[in-house]
Amino acid sequence: MRTQAILGFLSFTPYVQEYLDAAHSVLNHLGSISPYHRAHHASDINSQLPSDCTVDQVMLMHRHGSRGPIGEHKHINYLVQTLDNASDVVQEANLSRELEFLRAGYSSNLTPHNLTILGRKELFDHGVEFALRYPYLTAGDILSSDSERVVESARWFALGFFGLDADVRISTVSDTDDPVSWITPAPGRACPKFDYSFGQQATLTWSKQYLPAITDRLNKLLPGVGFSENDIHGALFACAYDLAARGISPWCDVFQPEELADFEYERDILMDASCAYTLPDNMAPLVGTVFVNKLIERFTNSSGDSSPLYLEFGHDVTILLALSALGLAKDDPPLSPDELRPDRKFRTSELTPFAANMVWERFTCTRSFDGPQIRLILNDATFPLSICGKGMDTTLGTCSLDTFIKANHYSTGIQFQDETWNKTCGL
């Protein structure tokens, strides 16, 4: 079964598992630009709470759905131009099976930044699933980053969750309105030293190691075209973004499993160095404390006005900053752009694919546990709260709310513009 199989429309066919099996390797090697798929964090964790337990409070942080490229479209354009310039060579070539599609030509009409059709479907489906999972919880407000694709994602989710005629308000927040919001994609004025360029440098270092070999291989398969490393980068991005837009891409079959694994690592070290553990000066965990402290405030009702349900929409950065503050999916030693780490914990295809959803549950039980408990469900799979140490229930991956709060003493000890914040962020 070819990985070219339709991914985005799987729920419409009777052959869902067959297609999923075929596409699984691709879905797991596109990093944070993977189409949404259920994660597999820990196979030994029971996803069902005991029958005497009830979830009484939920906090959702949802990434926007599948979108068009941002910046990467320049590489795709390089590829298209190279193929156009060599169209005569392509027509006369003895093409291998995986490159046969080039005889009909390849073009890209991806719209940068915008939510795709499949991105809308991801959010609508998640809204429906969320309503089925928590039929007794409701909210009158949705909070969203002011990014257009995030606001649209919130609307599609709301349509699935509330239906057509729901009286729900979507409020937006930007780093101008609230410089220390847990919603905005980056801290902006709140942390001037925070800079995505750290991730770009890591990407450049790794790409110099793995792209030349792929470029040589494809130039031997199709001599005369003269693929550059930029073209090959474009083909890898075309695989990912064609899937995000249409659920199908001929480019995904062009690459071998180890080449996709290298591309995945590129995406992981990009995000790790941009907004997670290898960002200098412990900056990501520091900024992520804003989310963790908001979670604790709500689940303890320390402000006196907590709601049973919070529906909030942001970016992959939002989720990764929070995970960094929690010390989850952390590698030791840290990831490096100098060598591939196949056994790493930090995999953005599992943590923050398009339409990633981080769901925090507060639950209580009549017999199984004493006092309120907390659970993290990340992309439809329980993520074990290893930060709780021996206080984590090894069967459910949960821990008591009290244990969770004590384990997060780093976050609770940080406040915006305190000495640690100002020193780290350059305020």
The residues carrying an active-site annotation are: 64, 316
- Cα separation, 252 vs 236, in Å, equals 7
Any residues with CB less than 8 A from the CB of 333 and at least 6 apart, and which? none
DSSP 96-162: -GGGGGGGG-------SSSBPHHHHHHHHHHHHHHHHH-TT---SEEEEES-HHHHHHHHHHHHHHH
**305 φ, ψ (degrees, to nearest 5):** -135, 30
CA quadruple 379, 124, 298, 58: dihedral sign: negative
- Cα separation, 378 vs 397, in Å, equals 12
Burial (0-12, 13-18, 19+ Cβ within 10 Å), 270: buried
Q: Are 116 and 66 in contact (CB under 8 A)?
A: yes
Q: Are 66 and 119 in contact (CB under 8 A)?
A: yes
Which pair of structure tokens corresponds to residue 284?
Answer: 């990501």
**376 φ, ψ (degrees, to nearest 5):** -110, 125
Strand 373-378 and strand 399-400: the pairing is antiparallel
Run of H or E residues at 296: helix 283-300
